[in-house]
Structure 1
Amino acid sequence: MAETRARLTPVDPVWDRITREAEEAIAKEPMLGGLIHSVILHHKSIENALSYRIAMKLTNSEMSEQLLREICDEAHQADPSLAAAARADVMAVYDRDPACHRYLQPLMYFKGFQAVQAYRVAHWLWTEGRTDLAYFFQMRTSEMFGVDIHPAARIGQGIMIDHAHSIVIGETAVVGNNVSILHSVTLGGTGKEDQDRHPKIEDGVLIGAGAKVLGNIRIGHCSRIAAGSVVLDEVPPMKTVAGVPARIVGEAGCAQPSVSMDHMFGG
């Protein structure tokens, strides 16, 4: 019977590690015990914890925490890919951010991670035709985190948004898997044109702080965009671009720039 129960119990290494780290954190800092219990240890799964954390962050006088939590729970129950992407995002932040030493940190403290998870619920609402509620999530995410992601944008998994200040991702933008974005990045349009007007960021791209990528252009996989650049033309795969306007200045320098987080020229 015990063997049967073990086979039926879902294995979730990411959530298991988060809960273990939560218990260790409380032992070291008991004053945070109530907060850590409410965010992590009171929940049976990462899905429940994400719903709680998003709801607590986005609640205001216009929308109660309980209602927001019910919406998030509905999204996670209907689409398991939301939590799967969140797990990949946790590991991405841990692997790439030298300030992240534990899996629990993104869920507890990092607004870039939290903003992306709120976007994922908003995107689910958008695809379900619940556009006004999706816009509400976008508004509150922007107000709370300084991260403005249109709910129609399509974003992959394994995403790290470091520092997450003044991030803008437009309606028709596409961001692939394993992309790293630093603060003050804009993936925007170039005017008042309608239809498909925002950048397409392929897998493994590293976008430096303050970079602006504008228009319906493709940024090839595993490329690098230097800090402060303004990118108006397509970027081939595995290249480094820099400047205003940005120009190719070399190779990407490694196979996975978004993972190495190496911003130095030299390739």
Structure 2
Amino acid sequence: MAEAAMMASETLWQKIRDEAQRTAAADAIFGKALVGLILVHDDFTAALSDLIGRRLGDSEVERARFTTFSRDAFNGQPDLIEAAGRDLQAIVLGDPAISGVLAPLLHLKGYVALQAWRVSNWLWHHDRGDAALLFQNEASNVLQVSIHPAASLGSSVYLDHATGIVIGADVVIGDEATILQNVSIGRGTELPARSPRIGRGVFIGSGATILGNVRIGDFAKIGADTVVTSDVPRGCTAIGNPARLTNCPEPASAA
């Protein structure tokens, strides 16, 4: 598994470097920035760690701290880099406005926020809770994305536009999910409080709210500004407040 992850990371890194070199050759001014952001680094781990440090740290000391934490996480668990690569490629596959891997890596804050969460999650599970919460706090302040370190997200996840996203502790989100801006996912008011479980390939529209002990089935869609407090079956679309179901592959009761 570690060897396969390394090979995938190396292939992606070569694509990033190739794009950076072509861009630098075409634009001398931006090319100077690309040397420090991409071309000076030896691998994807180093470049991504540095990028997280640059985005979260507002001083040289803080930048170095966030970079070091990120490098420790990626080196300590190589499949995090594989997941980061899948997240990047999911953006290219899912967004027709994106044609390469360099632009989303450098310019989409949702991507950086997601990778910062991956580092925070690693820290959380290695008894470094204060550092994990520091990542969450800075990602919230700087990138306007707050994902609790105790949440669980799969790979090939796309945080599109990525402003005002809040994902609480113990939320589970599967692979290939797409989440737009101003989405809140977290515990409800029931006791004991439980968090949503969201399946694979789920699309969550802007302004949606998903609360409590609910299950969102694979490939379901949650419409813009929808409020979900009950289960949404696989493949169904939930719309409105309170949510109602439509376009279900099989007959389903109201949400």
TM-score in terms of structure 1 length? 0.87
Residue from 210, 221, 229 that aligns with 1:213: 210
Residue from 18, 28, 39 that aligns with 1:20: 18
Deviation at 1:107, TM superposition (A): 1.3
For the pair 1:202 / 2:210, whether they are aligned, the reply is no
- Number of the residue aligned with 2:102: 104
Q: How does 1:1-267 map to 2 (within 5 A)?
A: 10=7, 12-61=10-59, 63-191=61-189, 197-251=194-248
Unaligned 5+ segments in structure 1 are 1-8, 253-267
1:211 & 1:161 partners in 2: Cα distance?
Answer: 13
Tell whether the 8 Å contact from 2:90 to 2:158 is kept in structure 1 after alignment: yes
1:191 & 1:47 partners in 2: Cα distance?
Answer: 40
Query: Secondary structure of 1:213's match?
Result: strand
Deviation string, structure 1 residues 47-105 (Cα, Å, up to 9, x no partner): 11110000111113595222221111111110001100010001100011122111111
Query: Secondary structure of 2:110's match?
Result: helix
Query: Secondary structure of 1:120's match?
Result: helix
Deviation at 1:208, TM superposition (A): 0.8
2:63 & 2:34 partners in 1: Cα distance?
Answer: 18
Deviation at 1:33, TM superposition (A): 1.7
1:120 & 1:70 partners in 2: Cα distance?
Answer: 14
Summarize the Cα distance change of 1:242–1:137 in structure 2 as closer, same or farther, 3 Å threshold.
Answer: same
Query: Secondary structure of 1:64's match?
Result: helix
Q: How many matched pairs? A: 244
Summarize the Cα distance change of 1:134–1:23 in structure 2 as closer, same or farther, 3 Å threshold.
Answer: same
Query: Secondary structure of 2:68's match?
Result: helix
Query: Secondary structure of 1:94's match?
Result: helix
Tell me whether 63-72 or 19-28 shows the greater mean CA deviation: 63-72
Summarize the Cα distance change of 1:71–1:212 in structure 2 as closer, same or farther, 3 Å threshold.
Answer: same
1:192 & 1:48 partners in 2: Cα distance?
Answer: 44
Amino acid in structure 2 at the alignment position of 1:222 = F
- Number of the residue aligned with 1:256: none
Shift >4 Å, 4+ stretches = 192-195
1:153 & 1:218 partners in 2: Cα distance?
Answer: 15
2:176 & 2:26 partners in 1: Cα distance?
Answer: 33
Tell me whether 167-176 or 182-191 shows the greater mean CA deviation: 182-191
Tell whether the 8 Å contact from 2:190 to 2:212 is kept in structure 1 after alignment: no
TM-score in terms of structure 2 length? 0.91
Deviation at 1:251, TM superposition (A): 2.6
Summarize the Cα distance change of 1:23–1:198 in structure 2 as closer, same or farther, 3 Å threshold.
Answer: same
RMSD, aligned CA:
1.8
1:74 & 1:238 partners in 2: Cα distance?
Answer: 39
1:130 & 1:34 partners in 2: Cα distance?
Answer: 36
2:248 & 2:93 partners in 1: Cα distance?
Answer: 23
Query: Secondary structure of 1:187's match?
Result: strand
Query: Secondary structure of 2:169's match?
Result: coil
